[in-house]
Every structure is written in C-alpha cells, then in structure tokens.
Amino acid sequence: MSSANRQWRVARYPQIDEPISTALFDWVETGIPTPGDGEFVVRSICLGTGPAQRGYLSPGRGEFLSLVPLGQVMRGRGVGQIVSSRHPDYPAGRIFVGSLGWQDYSVQQPRGKQFVFSTKLVAEPIRPLSLELGILGQAGVTAYFGLIEVGRMKPGDRVLVSAAAGGVGSVVGQIARIQGAETVVGVAGTDEKCRWLTRTLGLSAAVNYRRDDLDARLAELFPNGIDLFFDNVGGATLDTALLHLAERARVVICGFISSDYRRDPGPGPINYRKLVSRRARMEGFVVFDYWERFAEAEAALRDWYAQGLLHSCEDIDEGLENMPASLASLFSGTNRGVKLCRVAPDPAPGPG
C-alpha cells in the first residue's frame, strides 16, 4: 500500500488541437486523508478513462462537462475499497465505485458532490474489480441504454457500430449480438482490432476504415440496409453510413470523437438528407438521464457475463503514473476496449 497519496492535478488546459499528455498535469505526493464526520476514504484500485474527460479540461465546453479547476485533482471514475470511514452505511472493507479522481486516496460522501451518478457500494463484487468500470460499469450501461432505449433495438435488426473496438462500442456490438441482431458489423481502425471483434467478441464482420472502402463494404454487408447505427465517431464514417440506412433506421449519436475538441471539426454529414427518403431518425443521448434505471442495466450485464455471453473487454495499463497516456489513447485510437489503469491490486475477497 502506498504510504502517500499520489495525485495528478490539473496544471493547465490543453490547446484545442493539443494531445493529452503529462504536460497538462502536476504529479503531487501528499498525505493520506482522513474522513470527517459522515465521510469515508476510498483507496483507488482501478481508474477509468472516457472521452468526456477531455471536456473537463476544455473551458467553454460547458453543458454537462464542467471544468476541473486548475490545481485540482483530475476528475475521473474508479473502483476502490473503503479504507476508513465515519459513515455507518459505508464501512471499511467495502468495494465502492464513484468519482475517485486520479489519485490513490479520495474522501467521499454518499451524495453532494459532482457526478454522483452511479456512485455506489458494490453489493456482490465480481473479480477482477476492473469489470466494474468496463462491461459491468458505465461503458456497459451506456451501450445498454443507447442501443435498447434510444436505438430501440429489436431481434433481427441489422446493426452497425463505429469505434467498435472502443470502450462503449465493444459492449454495443456484443449486446446487439446477444439481443438477436441478424448482423452486427463493427468499424475499427486496425486489422488486429477487426480480428478481435469477429473472433473474440463474436461480431458478424468488421471493417477497417483506414484500409477498406467503407462505402463498398457497407454495400456488401448490408444489402438491405442498416436498421440501427450506433455512432461514436462522426465525420466520414457517419456520412458514409447514412447512405446505407434502411427504411425507419435509427442512428444513435453517442459521441463524435473524430471531430471533437478539434479547431476544424470538418464538414457535417450532408447525407443527413437520407433521413427523409429513409424515414429515418438520428438521436443523441446522455447516459446520466437513465440514472434511475442503472440497476436494470447492471443486472442484465452481470447476467450476460455470468452466462459467458458477454466477454470482458477491459484494456488495462498498470500504474497511476500512466493515466495521462491512457486517456490520450482514446483519441489516438490505440485502446482496445475499455481503457483503465490499475492503481493497486484487487484486495482479497472479504465480507463484500
């Protein structure tokens, strides 16, 4: 166990086209905190990453991506263990998921802080605990509500997912398969990712957008059109996919990492015009809106995992020191699955 609390604090915000790197943060070692009345201290085990974290570093982004003040610990979700507590409902030893920040130890309250969504004690932790940040956690819940609620997925649908080897995408493709899609095709950026999508995650096919002719491949793979497109990418991928929509298609906009945080986001999707002749719909969503139904999604995800239907797809770096590089990987596309850093080993199973 670390004898100090190591932290990444925000030193400055990135320029608009600047990659995420350690240059944006200060590495600080400080004392291990103690809980005040009604508080408890959580030791970080794994910390997660997500594209929204770049929004926390982007002034003027506003909306639901509130800025982390300079000098503060970088915000981020994690799974950890309560190591000291002055709150009767959150005793030491329990496993906790919430906004731990990029640090070894965080002081928590049950509510009252930013991003309390899905802050929770884990009732029956599944090992490895990293699953709580991946397929059983926010990536899984985002995929679940995006696909099933926003996309209204039905058995027999022909489904396309972009950034299919990304954190959310790798769960979307699997849920579509489990829910009885006729076809699930993933778009990814390397042949190795494409093999992983079909061989390990069980997708019907995968397209390497960097090498293949996406338009031609979609015409082959969707001769009757795409019923549901779950898009994490935007840009040319979205614009091309719109040409292949079936009638009454649903396009779920989860993100747009190809154009986000860029000085020049490039042109928008002119093929939105296909929405008319295809009677199709394009809809965005924010997973926190489903907060009151997270337990439903988490139960389904755990059940699928227990049955061996849902494969683990966490991509784990070792060490708190690698958090900036782990976050950067989401924007360079070098992650495969849900990118995490392990900060401490899983504790031995205890009373839970």
Residues that bind its own copies (CB under 8 A): 63-64, 234, 239, 253-256, 259-260, 265-286, 289
Nearest approach in angstroms of CB 64 to its own copies is 6
How far apart CA 90 and CA 272 sit, in angstroms, is: 49
Nearest approach in angstroms of CB 197 to its own copies is 24
* Closer to its own copies by Cβ: residue 195 or 279: 279
* Closer to its own copies by Cβ: residue 75 or 278: 278
Tokens of 114: 């930013």
* Closer to its own copies by Cβ: residue 268 or 350: 268
* Closer to its own copies by Cβ: residue 258 or 326: 258
* Closer to its own copies by Cβ: residue 100 or 150: 150
Tokens of 78: 């994690």
Burial 190-219 (b: 16+ CB within 10 A, else e): beebbebbbeebebbbbbbbeeeebeebbe
Nearest approach in angstroms of CB 138 to its own copies is 16
Nearest approach in angstroms of CB 85 to its own copies is 36
* HSE (side-chain half, CA atoms, 13 Å) at 210: 10
Nearest approach in angstroms of CB 171 to its own copies is 18
How far apart CA 65 and CA 336 sit, in angstroms, is: 24
DSSP secondary structure of 170-226: HHHHHHHHHTT-SEEEEEESSHHHHHIIIIIS--SEEEETTTS-HHHHHHHH-TT-E
Quickly count: other Cβ atoms within 10 Å of residue 189's Cβ: 19
